[in-house]
Amino acid sequence: MIGYVPGTSPLHRAHPYTTLALAGAVLLGAFALTRPLEVWLLVAAAAAFAAAGGVLRSSARTALLLSLPIWALLFVLHGLLGADPRTTVGPLSLSLPGMARALVLGGRITAIVLGFLTALATTSPHRLVEAMTARGVPFGRTFLLASTLTVLPRMRERAAQILEAQQCRGLRLGGSVLARLRALGPLALPLVLGALAEVDEQVLALDARGAASAARRTALDPPPDSRAQRLVRVALLVLVVAAYGWKFWKMRG
Amino acid sequence: MTLRDLVLIRLGVAVNLVIGQIVAALLLPVYLDSVGTILVAALVGPRAAIVAGLLSQVLNAVLSGNFSWLPFAVVQVVIALYAAAAARLGAFRRLATAVPAGVGMGFVAASCSAPISYFLFGGVTAGGVTLVTTVLRALGAPLGVAVASASYSTDLLDKAIACGLVCLVLRSLPRTLAARFPALAR
């Protein structure tokens, strides 16, 4: 499952910026680490992060489902088709450097997916918007984040309606690539033109709600932040910088 | 950024994410996940298009769960800048100029995405591109060549179609609607 899972874990209660900083540190850290052991320690850290949020089972299952096709492709591309030296495992001839690279790349992707799924599962969108408002983030940014997610289901529904309507009018979706390409216009144009025609109406509605005002807004229920959490965020930043410093120092050496 | 820009960014992001539904129904071998970014660049300029591109990439990762796509956000920035420049030169006025501009955009986008795919993910990004890479690798091409060939072949086609589609949208805009976008008059 992808999305927010209500709960009372420490991560659910944490300031949204702290949870996002943890996921961001996993993302940046994943590209700083280059050895299989280092990367899989990061995967373990991401799993601990999920456990702290009480979402280990659901996040790990989704991360596994999303990572499996990538692992399979990595195994073929690097394990089977990688460079020499090789080793034989049963009927398979595997590339040793290829398998090491596949382990690093697979672990990297797994850690990133697991870290962000956990952040997504433990960060309430409402609390995030409140936190951003309390920090004085301009209305435009919070509007984009919150309202785009609400407009998507409506656009998807409209796309499905256009698809059905055009099929009723005799539009064929099959045939050669060229025929299918020709069908793209009658399907995509009404969707985009319809949405463009509504732009002015939406601008007026936003203007009427005072969205153009530059005044700082008051958050009704801002999530509490603490000195300890601010320290955690700074420590994560230091860790990421240190990881990159270590990486480049090794490269020079 | 004006309220109109914000609404158009939201529209661009929605188009980027929803057009895949139509592409999937038509079983086309492309993504067209930057049509909204190109459209916003042509209508209001690069700044709004960059925001639309970055937000699309983030929301695409959030909605699909595949957060390994996040580093490719830089490709959306490049597409936004290229599209704004192409629009300023009037490339979207005719299909005959929009499609070659799209081929150029595909070249630039692939030049950015191929190194990210190769250096950060070893050529594996769980898309159709990776299947092309695997086939080329199995045929004996070195990994770097396979990744670059797969990226260029898919991006050239994808962006040429995307730019052609944006040209059709802009040409189909009723005059009253087109008049509301000063960038189109240039």
Which of B7, B124, B161 shows the shortest C-beta gap to A73? B124
Domain boundaries, chain B: 3-185
**Contact yes or no for A128/A225 (Cβ under 8 A):** no
Angstrom CA distances, A229 to A20, A44, A95, A224, B176, stand at 12, 22, 45, 10, 53
Domain locations along chain A? 10-130+224-252, 138-208
Contact (Cβ atoms closer than 8 angstroms) between residue B170 and residue B42: yes
Pick from B51, B12, B5: nearest CA to B35: B12
pLDDT value for B186: 59
Between CA B150 and CA B148 the distance in angstroms is: 6
Say how far apart CA A145 and CA A205 lie, in whole Å: 18
> With contacts defined as CB-CB under 8 Å, which chain B residues touch A140?
1, 6
DSSP state of A95: E
**B4 interfacial to chain A (CB closer than 8 Å):** yes
- Lowest-pLDDT choice from A42-46, A118-122, B111-115, B128-132: B128-132
Answer whether residue B140 shows pLDDT above 90. Answer: no
Q: Are B170 and B184 in contact (CB under 8 A)?
A: yes
> Using a CB-CB distance cutoff of 8 angstroms, which residues of chain A are in contact with residue B15?
155, 191-192, 195
Of A69, A116, A212, which is closest to B3 when you measure between CB atoms?
A: A212
The larger pLDDT score, comparing residue B13 to residue B132, is at B13
Among B95, B99, B76, CA closest to B170: B95
pLDDT at B29: 80
The nearest CA of chain B is from the CA of A128 a distance in Å of 15
Of the segments A67-76, A140-149, B32-41, B172-181, which one has the largest average pLDDT value?
B32-41
The shortest CB-CB distance from B126 to any of A69, A76, A189 is to: A69
Window B:21-60, CB contacts with A under 8 Å: 21-23, 25-29, 35, 39, 51, 55, 59
Q: What is the mean pLDDT of residues B116-138?
A: 82
Higher pLDDT: B77 or A152? It is B77
% of residues, chain B, pLDDT over 70: 98
- Say how far apart CA B29 and CA A50 lie, in whole Å: 36
Helix (H) or strand (E) holding A87: strand A86-89
Statement: residue B123 has pLDDT above 80: yes
Q: How many residues in total does chain B contain?
A: 186
What's the whole-model pTM score?
A: 0.84
Residues of A in contact with B172 (CB under 8 A): 189, 193
Class of domain B3-185: mainly alpha
Provide the residue-wise pLDDT of chain A in tens; the chain has 253 residues: 677 889 999 999 999 999 999 999 999 999 999 899 999 999 999 999 999 999 999 999 999 998 898 899 899 989 998 888 889 888 889 999 999 999 999 999 999 999 999 999 999 988 998 999 999 888 877 888 778 877 888 888 999 999 999 999 988 888 888 888 888 999 999 999 999 988 888 888 888 887 777 788 888 889 999 999 999 999 999 999 999 999 899 888 6
